[in-house]
Amino acid sequence: MTHQAKNNHTLRLGTRGSRLARWQAEWVAGQLRERGHTIDLVEIATQGDADPSRAIEDFGSPGVFTNTIQQAVLAGAVDLAVHSLKDLPTDQVEGLSLAAIPRRESPADVLVLADKLRATATAGGGCGATGSVAESVLAVLPTAAVVGTSSLRRQAQLRHARPDLCTVDLRGNVDTRLKKLDAGEYDAIVLAEAGLRRLGLLDRLEHVLPIEIMLPAVGQGALGIECRSDDTRTREALGPLHDEVAHAAVTAERAWLEHLRGGCRAPVAALATVAPQGRLHLQAVVLTPDGASRLVAACSGELAQPVECGEQLAEDMIRQGAARIIASARNYP
C-alpha cells in the first residue's frame, strides 16, 4: 500500500553510475516513491570511478567513492545520497547526517570460481590444502591458484588461510570483474555476497566464505543514506527506511574502526551481529598484509550502546598489539 506524501517536493538522489550503485539508488528511490515522494536520480562520477585500474589503497585517502557525492549534497546539487557503507569513511562530514540505514543484506564474501574449476568443485574434487580452514570452502582451489580481489583485507585473510595462493589486484565494477574471471584471467575472484544478490547473480553464490576464513569489511552489505543535517524534510522522508538493528551493528563496527584508526590502508575487518535476546556481539580481526600475523578478538555489549562496544574492542586489540600490526601496512608495496 502506498503512503501519501505531505507535498509534491522532488527529492534529488545522487548516485554513482555503476550497475550496482544504480540498483541501490533505484531501491531507495522505489521505497520513497511507495511512500508518495517524487524522486529524481542524478548520476555523479567519483574519484574512484575516474581511475578504475588503480588499487583503492593507492589513492592515499578514504572516500574515493563518496567525497564527490557528499560535496554535491552539501552544495545543494542533490538532496540525498546512497552509499555502500563499507565505502563511507568513519569521519563525520560537517553539515551532513547519516539519516537512514536500511535493513542489511548479507555481509559475507563469496569465492566465485572460473568455469574450469566449477565442475571439479561441484563433483567434490577440490585439491587445495587440507586442514579445518581449507577443508570448508578454500579446498576447491588448487595449489597456487590465482585469486583476484581489489581488497587488501581479503588478500591478507586469504594469505593467512592459504599461503600458497597467488592473490592479485582486481579493480572494476562487478560485471567487469566477472568478465575477467570468465575470460580465464583468474582461477577465482572474491566478491561481496550483497552485490551479487542485488544484481540477481544468484548462480555465482556457490561458495560463500565463512567468517572464520573471511571477516567482512566494516559496514559491508549495508546502505547508508546521507542528507544535509538541516534538511528536516528529507530526514523525515527517510525515517521509515531506517532499521535499528542494522544501525546498531554497523555503528559498533564503525566505532571500532574509528577508534582503531585502521583506515583504508590496513587489512582489518569486523562484523557485529545481534542475538535474539538483543545482545550485540562484535568480532574483529587485524592482520599484517602478508597474512602471517593475525589478531582476532570479540566482545559483547548492549544493543543501545554500540559505540561503547566498538571502542571497548578496539582498546582491547590495541593492548594486544593491533597498532603495531596496522603500522606494518603503511610500508607495504
pLDDT score recorded for residue 330: 74
Distance CA 87, CA 49 (A): 13
CB atoms near residue 5 (< 10 Å): 15
What's CA 178's distance to the chain center, in Å?
A: 18
Query: Which residues, listed in sequence order, are joined to residue 28 by a DSSP beta bridge?
Result: none
Q: How far apart are CA 3 and CA 264, in angstroms?
A: 40
Q: Indicate which residues carry an active-site annotation.
A: 87
Q: Write the CB contacts of 127 (distance below 8 Å, at least 6 apart in sequence).
A: 120, 139, 142, 143
pLDDT value of residue 322: 94
CA angle 126, 129, 132 (to 5 degrees): 100
Q: What is the 3-state secondary structure (H, E, C) of the chain?
A: CCCCCCCCCEEEEEECCCHHHHHHHHHHHHHHHHCCCEEEEEECCCHHHHCCCCCHHHHCCCCCCCHHHHHHHHHCCCCEEEEEHHHCCCCCCCCEEEEECCCCCCCCEEEEECHHHHHHHHCCCCCCCCCCCCCCCHHHCCCCCEEEECCHHHHHHHHHHCCCCEEEECCCCHHHHHHHHHCCCCCEEEEEHHHHHHCCCHHHCCCEECCCCCCCCCCCCCEEEEEECCCHHHHHHHHHHCCHHHHHHHHHHHHHHHHHCCCCCCCEEEEEEECCCCEEEEEEEEECCCCCCEEEEEEEEECCCHHHHHHHHHHHHHHCCHHHHHHCCCCCC
All structural domains of the chain, each given as residue ranges with its CATH number in brackets, are: 10-103+222-242 (3.40.190.10), 109-209 (3.40.190.10), 253-327 (3.30.160.40)
List C-alpha distances in Å: 144 to 60, 153, 162, 215: 30, 19, 9, 22
Q: What is the mean pLDDT of each run of 10 residues along the chain (333 residues)?
A: 58 95 97 97 76 49 77 96 93 95 97 88 50 67 95 96 96 93 97 97 95 96 98 97 97 96 78 91 96 96 96 96 86 69
Q: What's the pLDDT score for residue 327?
A: 85
Q: Which of 69, 91, 86 is nearest to 25 (CA)?
A: 69
> What residue has cell string 559498533?
252
